[in-house]
Structure 1
């Protein structure tokens, strides 16, 4: 059980931080409201999306339902993967990063599955209410994902000499995201960067099994 402690603790802390912040945003901020943390470079900007990570949309109500159900299946598979990796003693870094991906996926599933039932609609004039008497703003599996982190580090205009999008406004980083999105991104990027180290031991075991006698 000791091997499960760190990845499960990471999952718990990420989910806790993600949901506490989302609840605070929903109950205290109206849509579009923002707070500047570091000038114009780091902004808490409340927005919601019906689709995927970083505010991307996906196919209306039917697409929303399909995406939520797909997320549930995917996160179940990822959760099984975490247990499998721990059980078979894979690299600790790989286990931790898969745990980050699991926690991030679970965080957004909570929004899209339950938020429509427990919150009133967030508007541009007032925050939402928790467990409103008249019921939530939507049904099971049709909630909106809460996003708030906005980093418009570079805000300018694309030069006129550019062969594409010349003269158009350019913002980096434009997408608004949440803790769950960040956890997924960190986990995926870390696995891609350190994959050789993560899978080196496994490859070595496949080449030279412990019970195999190597003859010269």
Structure 2
């Protein structure tokens, strides 16, 4: 495939994943509340369970508070810039199309979660009474009224690169009770989004197909 076609392919893939990811997040955020019950998507093992996290993929964080959140967001920006540079370099060096597809998924996923952190605080109203907007130790005291009683809570900081990431998908399945150490526990308890899924698929493609991608 010609270099220009590879650039076009990467651009289209990233754009499609980003559009789908943001459509799902905005739809979930505007149609569900923080206390909405989980809804079955595919039987009882795959559910929609709306939440928000203050970290990155699958809720990973770099510590709490303003410094940790800023460090995480800056890490995202640097990582995305690095991936873009790497993709451009790989296209120029004639990398296999399938490898570029895998890299496109990782780039799209990382960018999708960055969009949440960067812009959602300017688009949606901030409610400090919602649990996922609270952060113990932040020092950011805000007034909150619950059941008619006003009290102060420590809320997360808001603004550019400080917003939450919207998550909604969850595998609600448990290991068999007969299995040692894992019996009765959830197979994968994390709540995730399409961006997380794209990152995971891209990384798995590289791990499973690395001999094809790096046959030299």
The alpha-carbon deviation at position 156 of structure 1 amounts to 6.0
In structure 2, do the counterparts of structure 1 residues 89 and 114 end up closer, same or farther at CA, with 3 Å as the change threshold?
A: same
CA distance in structure 2 between the partners assigned to 1:3 and 1:186 by the alignment: 19
C-alpha RMSD of the superposition: 2.2
Q: How far did 1:86 drift?
A: 1.4
SS at match of 1:90: coil
Q: Which residue number in structure 1 is paired with residue 91 of structure 2?
A: 86
Matches within 5 A, 1:90-129: 90-121=95-126
* Residue 148 of structure 1, CA deviation: 0.5
TM-score (norm 1): 0.78
Task: Report what 2:46 is aligned to.
Answer: 42
TM-score normalised over the length of structure 2: 0.78
SS in structure 2 at match of 1:44: strand
**Deviations, residues 164-208 of structure 1 (Å, cap 9, x unaligned):** 58xx851112111001001111111110111111111xx2xxxxx
Q: Secondary structure at the match of 1:175?
A: strand
Larger strand proportion of the pair: 2
CA distance in 1, matches of 2:162, 2:26: 17
Asked whether the equivalents of residues 174 and 184 of structure 2 are also in contact (C-alpha less than 8 Å), the reply is no
Q: Specify the structure having the higher radius of gyration (Cα).
A: 1
Alignment: residue pair count: 185
In the TM superposition, what is the alpha-carbon distance from 1:157 to its structure 2 partner?
Answer: 5.1
In structure 1, what is the Cα distance between the partners aligned to 2:76 and 2:159? 17
Secondary structure (helix, strand or coil) at the match of 2:101 reads helix
Superposed, 1:141-152 pairs within 5 Å as 141-152=161-172
Q: Does the 8 Å contact 1:32/1:45 carry over to 2?
A: no
- C-alpha contact (below 8 Å) 1:91/1:199 kept by paired residues: no
* Matches of 1:36 and 1:28, distance apart in 2: 16
**Closer, same or farther: CA 76–152 of 1 in aligned 2, 3 Å:** same
Please, which runs of 5 or more residues in structure 2 have no aligned partner?
132-156
Contact 1:82 1:98 in 2 (8 A): yes
